[in-house]
Amino acid sequence: MSIHMKQQDFKKLEGNLVLREKNILARLSEIAKENPAVEGDFKVRMQNIGSSEEDNAQEQAAFERDFALKEQLEKELREIQRALEKIRTGTYGTCDSCSSNILQRRLEVMPIANFCVSCAQKRRI
């Protein structure tokens, strides 16, 4: 662990990441089926409401909504898994740009943060 924080705080952050990962996977399984050929890739299920034109329109709208949600959840899942990998390799809490420590307060608010505040601000410009 490359950040300077109490072990209990570190474990709490890790536990929160693991819990969020499980919640995302559960939510994804409600709207999509995992692609066995590609890890972390999910295919949205098409609902079968009926066969009328109105039913088809509702099915399409639901599919588009679920697809957008799936994309967002997959992105967050990748970020969480990356943070967990950084924990395993001992690089969690280190800025990907300047290698300085990311403030504990920042990690508590955004445990998937990859950049210190300074580098994050530079990237937004």
**Domain presence at residue 114:** no
At 83, list the tokens. Answer: 């943070």
pLDDT at 2: 46
pLDDT at 49: 82
**Domains contained in the chain, number:** 1
**Domain presence at residue 121:** no
CA distance 83 to 89: 10
Tell me the residue range of the domain where 31 lies: 7-92
Question: Partners of 34 in the beta sheet?
Answer: 42
* Per-residue pLDDT tens over the stretch 9-63: 889 999 999 999 999 999 999 999 998 888 888 999 888 888 888 988 999 999 9
3-state secondary structure of 40: coil
pLDDT at 38: 86
Angle between helices 7-31 and 53-89 (to 10 degrees): 160
**Domain presence at residue 49:** yes
pLDDT at 48: 81
pLDDT at 3 over 60: no
